[in-house]
Amino acid sequence: MSNAAKDSSVFQSIKSFVLLAIVFLFPLFFLPITQDFFVTNKLYLLAFGAIILVAVSAVEFIITKRFVWSKGTFDNTVLLFLLTVILSTLLSSPNKIQALLNPNLGLVAILSFTILYFYLSRSGVTNILKESFDSAQDKFSKGNRLLDLLSLSTVIVSIITIISFFQPLKSASLPAALQFLKAENFNTFGSLLDLSIFLGFFTVLLAVRILSRKSVSDSNRALPKLFPTVLSLLIIASAFALSVFNIVKPIANNQLLFPPLSISWYAAVEVLKNPMTALFGIGVDNFSSIFTQSKDIFYNASSSWQIQSFNASRSTLLHVFTELGVFGLVAFGLIILALIREMVQKVKHQGQSVVNWLPLVYLMAVVFIFPPSLAIVFLFFMMIITLNSHKQEGHTGVTDVNLYQFLPVYLGMAAIAFIFVGFSIYGLLRTYAAEYNFKKSIDGIVANNMKDLYENQRTAIILNPYIERYRINFSQTNLLFANNIAAKASPSAEATAGKPAEKPQLSDQDRQTISQAIQAAIAEAKAAAALNPQKASNWENLANIYRNILFVAQGADVWTISAYQRAIVLDPQNPIYRLNLGGVFYSLNNFDEALKIFEQSTALKPDWSNAHYNLAWAAYQKGDYQRAVNEMQSVLSLLNPKKDEADYKRAQSEIDEFKKKLPKEEESATKSSEVNAAQQLSLPTPPVATVEPKVKLPKEVSP
Residue 384 within a domain = no
Residue 444 within a domain = no
CATH of the domain at 603: 1.25.40.10
Contacts of 658 (CB under 8 A, 6+ apart): 616, 620, 625, 628, 629, 632
Residues 601 and 548 in one domain: yes
Residues 213 and 266 in one domain: no
Residue 557 within a domain = yes
Q: Domain count of the chain?
A: 3
Mean pLDDT of the chain: 84
Q: What is the DSSP letter of 95?
A: S
Q: What is the spatial distance between Cα 600 and Cα 612, in angstroms, rounded to a whole number?
A: 11
Q: Tell me, what's the pLDDT at 195? A: 96
**CA nearest to 312, candidates 345, 274, 286:** 286
Residues 523 and 659 in one domain: yes
Residues 520 and 623 in one domain: yes
Examine the fold and report which residue of 210, 238, 256 is the final residue of a domain before the chain moves on: 256
For the chain, 703 residues long, the average pLDDT of each consecutive 10-residue run is: 63 88 94 95 97 91 76 88 97 96 95 93 54 40 58 94 89 81 88 95 90 58 69 95 85 66 94 95 96 92 87 95 97 93 79 80 94 95 78 47 69 86 96 97 89 95 97 95 76 50 69 89 95 96 93 86 96 95 94 95 94 93 91 90 86 87 58 42 68 66 66
Instruction: Count CA atoms within 13 Å of residue 94 on its CB side.
Output: 18
Residues 87 and 221 in one domain: no
Residues 252 and 302 in one domain: no
pTM for this entry: 0.89
Packing angle of the helix pair 75-91, 316-349 (nearest 10 deg): 170
Residue 498 within a domain = no
Q: Tell me, what's the pLDDT at 150? A: 87
Q: What is the spatial distance between Cα 139 and Cα 141, in angstroms, rounded to a whole number?
A: 6
Q: Tell me, what's the pLDDT at 330? A: 97
Residues 135 and 216 in one domain: yes
The SS3 of residue 66 is strand
Q: Write a three-state SS string for 222-279.
A: CHHHHHHHHHHHHHHHHHHHHHHHHHHCHHHHCCCCCCCHHHHHHHHHHHHHCHHHHH
Give the range of the structural domain holding residue 81, as residue numbers without chain letter.
Answer: 74-94+258-373
Q: Where are the alpha helices (DSSP H) in 104-260?
A: 107-120, 145-165, 192-216, 223-248, 250-253
431-475 pLDDT per residue, tens: 999 999 999 999 998 888 889 999 999 999 999 999 999 999 999
325-335 pLDDT per residue, tens: 999 999 999 99
Residues 640 and 670 in one domain: yes
Q: Tell me, what's the pLDDT at 129? A: 41
Burial 429-453 (b: 16+ CB within 10 A, else e): eebbebbbbbbbbbebeeeeeeebb
Residue 564 within a domain = yes
Q: Tell me, what's the pLDDT at 645? A: 84
Examine the fold and report which residue of 256, 285, 309 is the final residue of a domain before the chain moves on: 256
Sequence letter at residue 557:
D
Residues 685 and 546 in one domain: yes
Q: What is the DSSP letter of 693?
A: S
Residues 196 and 324 in one domain: no
Residues 578 and 589 in one domain: yes
Residues 214 and 281 in one domain: no
Residue 21 within a domain = no
Residue 353 within a domain = yes
Examine the fold and report which residue of 373, 407, 431 is the final residue of a domain before the chain moves on: 373
Residue 450 within a domain = no
